[in-house]
Copies of this chain bind each other. A is one copy, B any other.
């Protein structure tokens, strides 16, 4: 008994201390979170910060060799029939990895049908192109090389041109060491996709806000976020890149483009386009599938009318535009390669 009572007396004291400490800690944590919260937690919780890297597919390991090769190929104009157009021509790193003109200008000055999407954070999308005709970056990568209005070169010829350079034999062999004949279209696509998966823009002001730095965005920007969530934008502009990679019918001013219908042939897909990412939207003007919308303010108004059937007030528009500007992240580092 003595021993037990001794145990109880002396043995329980630490327990009491631990329990007290836990209670105090919990109280402090509660108080501190209540004190630190800015009143927007329920809206903030509807968003996700952007990870530093998107999902990496099991069949395309993101090795430094593939990324470096993809970097070279991204800037390689000799895989266009003119010899002067590369991926970087329309996905220009100086212009938010897009081109800031309404519709892409490609081979022989031809103007395409659609606005150039940025490649930034495209590894987070589960559908590529405005019409989702590719799902993965690997499927997407070769399209613009062959497109008559873009780089206008057959894959056979592109592969043959690359094969003329010793350095590409070396780099493809390093990037795809298990392939006997590594300079081929699949590997061009793999390398380009790998490079693009490194082109992410984490640590925007909004990301810092989501991670706890409640002063990283202003009160107006928070109101914009709230309205963005409240009025339903976040239903489609969801996930880390603020896109669900799904397709929705929309006819923006000046567009008669049938969109996703041209891929699926389904009536329901007439005029349907992929939800575009809103990451870095402040850098990737002009907007919409036809690039006819010049400012973010107009874009917000059009989306309100077309997708949500509502007219935003000018204050609401200003708040949401302010919010959208917080989505500009840190530009990725890359090298202008020395091409052979």
Contacts and interface: CB of A to CB of B under 8 A. Distances in A.
Interface in A300-340: 331, 336-339
Nearest to A108: B109
Interface in A70-123: 75-78, 82-84, 89-90, 92-95, 99-101, 105, 107-109
Contacts of A94: 75-76, 336-339
Interface string A252-286: 00000000000000000000000000000000000
A95 B77 contact: yes
A26 to B, nearest CB: 46
Interface size bracket, A side: 20 to 34
Contacts of A339: 94-95, 100
Given A92-B77, A336-B93, A339-B94, A84 B107 contact: no
A77 B89 CA distance: 10
A339 B96 CA distance: 8
Contacts of A337: 94
A275 B280 CA distance: 47
13 contacts: A76-B94, A82-B101, A82-B105, A83-B99, A83-B101, A83-B105, A89-B89, A93-B336, A94-B336, A94-B337, A94-B339, A108-B109, A331-B338
Given A95-B339, A100-B339, A109-B109, 12 more contacts: A77-B92, A82-B105, A82-B109, A83-B105, A84-B99, A84-B105, A89-B89, A94-B337, A108-B108, A108-B109, A331-B338, A336-B336
Interface of A: 75-78, 82-84, 89-90, 92-95, 99-101, 105, 107-109, 331, 336-339
